């Protein structure tokens, strides 16, 4: 029996990917102008970025518990095996809610074979893990093999991340308002990474060129076998910088492939426009 892959919209893969590969989508919620939207389904990222530029502050919330219950119950009734790869538990309550709902569904369907994995990842880093899982399913791998591959990729994912304006992170409580104000004055760009699922600052650099150069240098130190892996770049309405980053990665690291997507409405609500994130493996 084929294994079903489930993921939420924080993986920042396009809706076409879910439709074409039979992956179940759990949308996070985006709240803007007193209206609740479903990330990837009823709101485009550009709408969020436009609102932020106009001074609005979008809010987000986790996947609907009712949607989890309905989806899990239907799978259990149809005797489907599945793996739900979830958004980092350090950045959303979605993973914990899914685990709770699964336990409830299993009380009625004790034989239900669904595994939930905390990716400890976000955006396209999480998305690359989902894409790899789908390839494993399509190759006919067993559920155990697919799960092991997912867990390995989660453990060895590297994420480097920057924002165009520290003010957006300040509004989300990531940095102090004083440092955000100072950063804006001095054209200082923060460089962060994801450590055990959390967003952790590494350093601050002045100017875009220095920042991109530093990202490449860190990739050389942290990455492995770029010629055999797909590097992910997600951007918040800044395709120009994403393409510039892609050229540097291809020229200096000889990556097998560079895959670019937009940062979705849910994650983009917190990072703001102009953010760039780069994802790669430190082991294959």
| Owner of token pair 């102008």 | 33
CA pair distance 242, 231, nearest whole angstrom? 12
63, 94 contact by CB (below 8 A)? yes
- The rounded distance, in Å, linking the Cα atoms of 154 and 182 is 35
pLDDT of residue 194: 85
| The predicted structure's pLDDT at residue 185 | 52
For the chain, how many residues are written?
Answer: 284
pLDDT of residue 170: 62
- How high is the pLDDT of residue 199? 76
Low-confidence ranges of the chain (pLDDT < 50): 174, 178, 181
CB 23: neighbour CB atoms within 10 A? 20
pLDDT for position 208: 86
DSSP code at position 174: S
pLDDT given for residue 206 in this prediction: 83
Longest CA span, the chain: 59
The CA radius of gyration of the chain, in Å to the nearest whole number, is: 19
Rounded to whole angstroms, how far apart are CA atoms 121 and 27?
16
Question: How high is the pLDDT of residue 164?
Answer: 76
Residue 217 CB coordination number (10 Å) = 11
């Amino acid at each position: 029996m084929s294994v079903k892959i489930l993921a939420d919209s924080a993986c920042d893969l396009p809706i076409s990917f879910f439709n074409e590969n039979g992956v179940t989508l759990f949308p996070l919620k985006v709240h803007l102008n007193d209206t609740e939207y479903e990330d990837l389904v009823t709101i485009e990222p550009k709408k969020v970025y436009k609102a932020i530029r106009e001074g609005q502050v979008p809010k987000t919330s986790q996947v609907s518990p009712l949607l989890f219950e309905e989806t899990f119950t239907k799978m259990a009734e149809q005797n489907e095996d599945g793996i739900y790869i979830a958004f980092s538990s350090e950045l959303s309550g979605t993973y914990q809610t899914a685990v709770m709902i699964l336990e409830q569904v299993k009380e009625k369907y004790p034989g239900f074979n669904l595994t939930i994995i905390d990716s400890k990842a976000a955006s396209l880093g999480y998305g690359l893990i989902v894409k790899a899982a789908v390839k494993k399913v399509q190759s006919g791998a067993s559920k155990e093999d697919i799960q092991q591959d997912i867990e390995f990729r989660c453990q060895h994912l590297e994420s480097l991340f920057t924002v165009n304006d520290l003010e957006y992170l300040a509004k989300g409580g990531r940095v102090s308002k004083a440092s955000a104000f100072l950063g804006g004055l001095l054209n200082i760009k923060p460089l962060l990474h994801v450590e055990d699922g959390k967003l952790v600052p590494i350093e601050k650099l002045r100017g875009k060129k220095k920042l991109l150069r530093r990202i490449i240098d860190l990739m050389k130190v942290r990455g492995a076998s770029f010629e055999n892996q797909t590097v992910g770049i997600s951007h918040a309405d800044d395709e120009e910088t994403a393409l510039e980053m892609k050229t540097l990665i291809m020229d200096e690291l000889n990556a097998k492939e560079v895959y670019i997507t937009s940062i979705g409405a849910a994650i983009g609500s917190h990072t703001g426009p102009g953010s760039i994130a780069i994802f790669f493996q430190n082991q294959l």
